[in-house]
Amino acid sequence: MEYLDENHLVCLKWGFDDVQGTITFKFVVNTTGWVGFGFSPNGGMQGADIVMGGLGSSGSYFKDYYATGNAMPVEDTEQSYTLLSLNESDGQTSMSFQRAIVSCDQQDFQITAQPIKLIYAYGTTDVISYHGARRGTKEVNLLNYMARTTLPNTNFLSVTVENITVPTTHTYYHCKVMNFPWLTTKQHIIVVEPVIENVDIVHHMLLYRCPSFVTQPYNSQCYQGNMGDACFGVVATWGVGGGVMDLPENVGIPVGGDDSDTFYRLEIHYNNPNNVSGRTDSSGLRLYYTAQLRQYDVGILMTGVVPGMNINYKIPPKANQFRSYGVCNTSLFSEFLNPMPDLKVFSVLMHTHLAGRKVRVGHYTSNGTQIDFLGLDENYHFDLQQMTNMGVIKTIKQGDEILVECTYSTASRTGVTKMGLGTTDEMCLVFLYYYPAINVTTCQSHPNTRHPSMNTSDQIFGGTTTPDQDEIAAHERLLKTVPQFQVIADDGLTFKSYPGGMIREMMKTPTVTCNTPNASSRLVTSWIVNPAGVILLLLWIAMM
């Protein structure tokens, strides 16, 4: 079960026994009008698979729709959803329905083991019309769902800013450096809850652990040459559109004890594109912790492309598609620790800015063979950047390589886009949550933009002529083939750079295979009504 909105007015329950069978939904909304639920490629209407229904004066109504744009969806040629029940009670509408998990209908959204962007809308009457503000989006992994943690106590750290003034600039980063000296014994953070005062301007938040030489609190604009700017060991993350982060039952983020003198830096990125003045904010994170230590400490590894650093990385304008790459070779970790334990990755957070369209994280053996993907988002959305549970544990062994691929579209831009902190700049970052924690915090790369072969591209993109698509594609290939500088850092802020990294080929994203007629027509009882189905689900996850 998940609430799809912040006010707990829209509730979704779902369940299934077999990933080749049927999935059952119960959709409950605090309204007596029409209700709509759907699956969206990117969180919007375009291309969404939607069901709408309600209970009117003439009885119940329910249909399967397909959205071709930001307008009233059209009825599917094939009605793939079956209504099970529809009723109104105590000001709520409850709609239960089911469909095949793997559908052969081209107008249906394919449900996979990856996180899916769910959308909803509803009205106050039974006349289906424009929903206005009664709509929303939430990303959920339906097939590999991770249940919420039951908190053993109410202890939490409030890590927030207090009434800061947000300036009238498009992009502003505010930092607060603090410590928790009263935690004299080691604790485990098990839940991270965002506290967002202004949902329209708080874009993302990062909590970093500081190296030992940071010993003073600080509360002002980030990256102004203060000592706190050196804090880069990621402890917790939150991105716009995300919700509460629950950790698996066997892991926790360590805090306190021998580290009670450690300082932490809360970084908040404010996105104020309309340059609104007079806004104050007191957002941040609430960190629930327990003295009942779990089996493993959580580590967070920041991968992708090194942001900024004057690397002269140019994403060309008018590009329908442009890919950037960051590589991490874990064989280089031997200079920080040896041997490296197997790293068990359980969750991932992907991050780009406005031009980002896709993010993929490839996992390779030491000989360059791709094992799988550690993360996939083929329909990346700037306003939906939450940590997603992978559902299964992926193991990174010493010597394995990680490759992050970010795809951008700059078709509407007339100037080059650089890698940087600004919202209109770009980033290509992926945060991997894993256990057991090691002291390496960062493993990123950037192409050698001073390589002699870059001279031609510099001439093309430094001039006034808009490059054509062939020149853009050639520039992308060049950036992919020039040597990569890999940058690795530990929690003490020891940085080491390694030249000569290479970008490997990445396999195509797996596609869904359509069910056979017999499989698609088979109905399987959902564990919404059959609790024994939970056992089958857990067995299936364990076998993956």
Question: Amino acid identity of 182?
Answer: W
Helix H, strand E, coil C: the string for 421-470 is CCCCCECCEEEEEEECCCCEEEEEEEECCCCHHHHHHHHHHCCCCCCCHH
Residue 73, pLDDT > 80, answer yes
Which residues, listed in sequence order, are joined to residue 313 by a DSSP beta bridge?
none
> What pLDDT sits at residue 256?
94
Higher pLDDT, 436 or 145: 436
Candidates 61, 145, 173, 498; catalytic one: 173
Closest CA to 85 of 28, 41, 137: 28
Query: Which segment, 91-95, 243-247, 380-384, is predicted with the most confidence on average?
Result: 91-95
* Dihedral sign (CA 36, 383, 164, 286): positive
> What distance in Å separates the CA atoms of residue 393 and residue 275, rounded to the nearest whole number?
43
Do 305 and 324 meet the contact criterion of CB atoms below 8 Å apart?
Answer: yes
Q: Tell me the CATH number of domain 2-140, given options 3.90.79.10, 3.30.70.120, 2.60.40.1210, 3.90.550.10.
A: 2.60.40.1210
E-strand stretches of 295-369: 296-297, 299-305, 314-315, 322-329, 343-351, 356-364
Rounded to two decimals, the pTM is: 0.78
Residue 517, pLDDT > 70, answer no
Q: 420-432: buried (b, 16+ CB within 10 Å) or exposed (e) per residue? A: bebbbbbbbbbbb
> What pLDDT sits at residue 307?
80
> What pLDDT sits at residue 514?
63
> What distance in Å separates the CA atoms of residue 359 and residue 186, rounded to the nearest whole number?
36
* Dihedral sign (CA 127, 130, 132, 137): positive
pLDDT category at 536 given cuts 50, 70, 90 is very low
Candidates 188, 203, 269, 351; catalytic one: 351
pLDDT category at 504 given cuts 50, 70, 90 is very high
**CATH 2.60.40.1210 intervals, the chain:** 2-140
- For residue 159 the two structure tokens come to 């890590």
CATH of domain 298-506: 2.60.120.230
> What pLDDT sits at residue 519?
39
Residue 374's φ and ψ, nearest 5 degrees, are -85, -20
Place of tokens 């928790």: 180
> What pLDDT sits at residue 324?
95
Residues 452-491 pLDDT 10s: 777 666 555 655 567 888 989 988 998 899 999 999 999 8
Longest dimension (CA), the chain: 74
> What pLDDT sits at residue 523?
37
> What distance in Å separates the CA atoms of residue 236 and residue 276, rounded to the nearest whole number?
29
pLDDT category at 512 given cuts 50, 70, 90 is low
pLDDT category at 533 given cuts 50, 70, 90 is very low
173 labelled catalytic: yes
Average pLDDT over residues 410-429: 89
Do 304 and 404 meet the contact criterion of CB atoms below 8 Å apart?
Answer: yes
**CATH 2.60.120.310 intervals, the chain:** 147-297
**CATH 2.60.120.230 intervals, the chain:** 298-506
Average pLDDT over residues 335-358: 93
pLDDT category at 534 given cuts 50, 70, 90 is very low
Between CA 411 and CA 415, with CA 413 as vertex, the angle to 5 degrees is 130
pLDDT category at 269 given cuts 50, 70, 90 is very high
Class of domain 147-297: mainly beta
Residue 309, pLDDT > 60, answer no
Higher pLDDT, 455 or 242: 242
Chain centroid offset of residue 20 CA = 26
Percent of the chain clearing pLDDT 70 (strictly above): 90
Between CA 313 and CA 318, with CA 317 as vertex, the angle to 5 degrees is 145
Q: Which residues contact 4 (CB under 8 A, 6 or more apart)?
A: 10, 11, 12, 118, 120, 136, 138
Task: State the burial class of residue 71 (Cβ atoms within 10 Å of its Cβ: 0-12, 13-18, 19+).
Answer: exposed
Residue 492: half-sphere exposure toward Cβ, Cα within 13 Å: 4
Residues 18-65 pLDDT 10s: 877 899 999 999 999 999 999 998 888 888 999 999 999 999 999 999
pLDDT category at 442 given cuts 50, 70, 90 is very high
pLDDT category at 77 given cuts 50, 70, 90 is confident
Residues 166-225 pLDDT 10s: 999 988 999 999 999 999 999 999 999 999 999 889 988 999 999 999 999 999 999 898
> What distance in Å separates the CA atoms of residue 119 and residue 139, rounded to the nearest whole number?
9
Place of tokens 């195509």: 508
Question: Amino acid identity of 296?
Answer: Y
Chain centroid offset of residue 424 CA = 19
DSSP3 helix / strand / coil % (the chain, rounded to 5): 10, 45, 45
* Dihedral sign (CA 525, 526, 531, 533): positive
> What distance in Å separates the CA atoms of residue 231 and residue 496, rounded to the nearest whole number?
16
Mean pLDDT across the chain? 86
> What distance in Å separates the CA atoms of residue 20 and residue 110, rounded to the nearest whole number?
12
pLDDT category at 510 given cuts 50, 70, 90 is confident
Q: 104-113: buried (b, 16+ CB within 10 Å) or exposed (e) per residue? A: bbebbbbbbb
> What distance in Å separates the CA atoms of residue 152 and residue 187, rounded to the nearest whole number?
13
